[in-house]
Every structure is written in C-alpha cells, then in structure tokens.
Structure 1
Amino acid sequence: MEITKTIVFVLLCYVAVADAKVFGRCDLVRELKKYHFEQTFLRNWVCLIENESRSDTKKINPYPIVGGTHPSGYKSYGLFQINSKDYCRSGYNGGLCNVKCEDMLDDNIAKAAQCAQMIFKLHGFKVWYGWNRKCKSHQDKLPSISDCVMAFAG
C-alpha cells in the first residue's frame, strides 16, 4: 500500500513538472521580441526573468516585503513574477493589470507580457526584487544575448 502511494506521488510530481514551460535563453529572447519588448532592455528583462522565475512560466513564490517577511496571501506568479498585491487577483480579473493571477502561469505569455510591460511603463524595473538584487548594480554583467540576436537576424 505504501509503495502504491509513493508511486502515485512520484507520478503526480512528474506530471506537475512536465507541465511547466521553462524557456532557454534564446527561446526567451524570441518570446520577448514577439511581444515587442524593447531591444534596449532585452538583457535586463532576461536577467530579471532568470532571477525572478528561473524562466519558468508556472513559478509561484510568496510575495516578499522589505524585512524578509511575507504578507498573508500575496504571491508572485509566472515568468515575470507578477504579484497579487498590486497587479493581479487570484480567481478573478483585477489589480492594475486587470487579470487573473492564474493567467500569469500560462505558457502563452501574452497576458503576462502585456502586464509586465505596463508595470515597466509605470515603475521601470525597480519593483522587481530579482532585478534589484541581481541586475541593477551589475549592468556590465547582464546575461549575453548576442548569440540569440545574431541567430534571429539570419
């Protein structure tokens, strides 16, 4: 009986992981270009995404606040880690992006990209903790995308 439970648990974990889309860097750049992210900021977006969600469309994290605690119920969703405090609502359209947080977990990143671009227009990158910690002070060490851009040019 215990072996059966273990096998079922392992299979469920495998299905959950298999369902997640994790972008490779060049695929990520291609997606960002598809949704008209500005070339000037592509390396910053890649840095943000790699540090916020590890390029995983299904990533959900507790939404942190200054001081390292997590407010009850707030989470960050998807590739761009759009938070339920300000930009989306769980179970219904809402927040500044007027979207369901669950829509931020879709492998089709159209809604998430639109929301991320709106956030960027309002605040720049400064509202993303991963960008502040790993990208802001390291502009000379942002991820290289030159191989990706060259591959798309041909």
Structure 2
Amino acid sequence: MKPLIVVAIFMILSLSSIEAKVYGRCEFARELANLGVPRHQIPTWTCIAQRESNYDTAARNWGSGDHGILQISQLFWCNVDGGPGKGCNAQCSQFRNNNIVDDVRCAQKIFDEHTRISGDGFNAWTTYRFCRGDNNRYVAGCF
C-alpha cells in the first residue's frame, strides 16, 4: 500500500510542475508586450515579477496568501475555497499555472483600481518600493 501512495504523490507533484513555468526575464517582458501591456509599464512589471516570484508561475506565499508570477492576493482578488470569486472572479490556483494571461489581466485590474485609489497602481505590490524609478535594466536587450 505504501508504494502506491508514494507513486501517487510523485505523479501529483510531477503534474504540478508540468503546469508551472519559470520564465526568463526577457521571455516574460516579451510575453507582457504580446498581451498588450503598455510598453512603458513593462520594465516595472518585470521588476515586480522578479522580486515577487523570480518569474515562477507556481510561486505561492503561504504567509501572505499571494499566488503566481505576480503574486495575486487571495485576500481581495482570488478565491482559495473552490469557486471563482473576489475582485478578479478567479480561483487562486489559476494564477499558479503556466498560462499567465489571467494573471496579467487580474494584475491590470488591480493596477487600475489602485491607480484610482492612490494615483499609482503599482503601489498594490509591496515590492514596488524596490522597483520605483528607472527599471530599463530589467528589459535591456529584450526587444
């Protein structure tokens, strides 16, 4: 019986890693551009992704309840209890797979909401304090 449990756990972990992806810096920046993110924002988003998750789509912060490459908060933006919900009408697990389209769309929604509230949408991410100013080094040689 124990070998079956070990095999089952291994298969679950293998499937999880197949669904996740660690982006390269330029690969992430180019994907943002392909998704229509304004070009002037891409360096800052790339900095935030590096600082939040090291470009890992499977990243999860158990302490804060943040999920995915851009660390979307389960407090306000996604639901961990099964169904879609909260601000981005999504399950948090959706932000931990290799498809970052929903992550980027939710991040843009968060950005817009925080722009309305504070004047700077990037303030929603605590790592933004490290990403203020010129972030062009994060996209150097990418385009």
Tell me the TM-score normalized by structure 1: 0.74
For 1:98-118, what per-residue CA distance to the aligned partner results, in whole angstroms no more than 9, with x for missing partners? 111011112011111110011
Which 4+ stretches in 1 moved above 2 angstroms?
14-20, 140-144
Q: Give the conservation status (yes or no) of the 8 Å contact 2:84–2:90.
A: yes
Amino acid across the alignment from 1:144: Y
How far apart are 1:58 and its partner, in Å? 0.2
**Which runs of no fewer than 5 residues in structure 2 stay unpaired?**
115-120
How far apart are 1:141 and its partner, in Å? 5.3
Q: Give the conservation status (yes or no) of the 8 Å contact 1:88–1:99.
A: yes
SS in 1 for 2:141: helix
How far apart are 1:20 and its partner, in Å? 3.1
Identity across the alignment (%): 31
Amino acid across the alignment from 2:134: D
Instruction: Please report the RMSD computed on the Cα atoms of aligned residues, expressed in angstroms.
Output: 2.5
State which structure, 1 or 2, has the greater radius of gyration over its C-alpha atoms.
1
Q: Give the 5 Å matches for 1:86-97.
A: 86-90=76-80, 91-97=82-88
For 1:110-140, what per-residue CA distance to the aligned partner results, in whole angstroms no more than 9, with x for missing partners? 11111001111111010111222x212xx13
* Structure 1: distance between partners of 2:90 and 2:44: 24
CA separation of 1:35/1:92 partners in 2, compared to 1, >3 Å: closer, same or farther? same
* Structure 2: distance between partners of 1:51 and 1:45: 10
1:59 correspondence with 2:59: yes
Q: Give the conservation status (yes or no) of the 8 Å contact 1:46–1:143.
A: no
1:82 correspondence with 2:72: yes
How far apart are 1:32 and its partner, in Å? 0.5
SS in 2 for 1:94: coil
Amino acid across the alignment from 1:119: I
SS in 2 for 1:86: coil
Q: Give the 5 Å matches for 1:3-14.
A: none
CA separation of 1:42/1:127 partners in 2, compared to 1, >3 Å: closer, same or farther? same
> Which residue number in structure 2 is paired with residue 146 of structure 1?
140
